[in-house]
Amino acid sequence: MQTRVRATAKYVRVSPSKVRQLTRLIVGQPIHEAQRILLFADKGAAQPLLKVMNSAVANAENNDDLDPDELIVAEAFADDGPTLKRYQPRALGRAYQIRKRTSHITVVVTPAEEN
């Protein structure tokens, strides 16, 4: 039986494309290595992704009695959330639309021997 533990953060005010740059780096990595990558990543999306990953590890440890040292990141993805639409006034009475994107970040962890 495959044990997959997940954590999700919804409506995070970071563009999904910016989060996906980091999810590609951590998928398949052990938890400690993925944490190290995100701690030293020079991206604003690293902090919310790290929080979601730590939440998934805590879920695995507390709910499923799994050892956090044995976990790896099986999946990490960012889906589009709702887009906040704002308007910037421009010359001659025009308005430009500004799209403030949100994302739903999900991280799935599994024990290393099950992969």
pTM of the predicted protein model: 0.91
- Tell me what the mean pLDDT of segment 29-52 comes to: 96
Residues in the chain: 115
Average pLDDT of the chain to the nearest whole number = 94
What are the strands, taking DSSP E only, across 1-115?
A: 5-12, 71-80, 84-89, 95-100, 103-111
pLDDT in tens, 77-108: 999 999 999 999 999 999 999 999 999 999 99
Q: Answer yes or no: is pLDDT of 115 > 60.
A: no
- Tell me what the mean pLDDT of segment 49-53 comes to: 97
> How far does the chain reach from its first CA to its final CA, in angstroms?
11
Residue 104: closest CA among 13, 5, 6 = 13
Give the distance, in angstroms, between the CA of residue 16 and the centroid of all CA atoms in the same chain. 9
Domain 5-114, CATH: 3.90.470.10
Residue 1: per-residue pLDDT: 52
- Tell me what the mean pLDDT of segment 28-48 comes to: 96
- Domains of the chain, by residue range, sit at 5-114
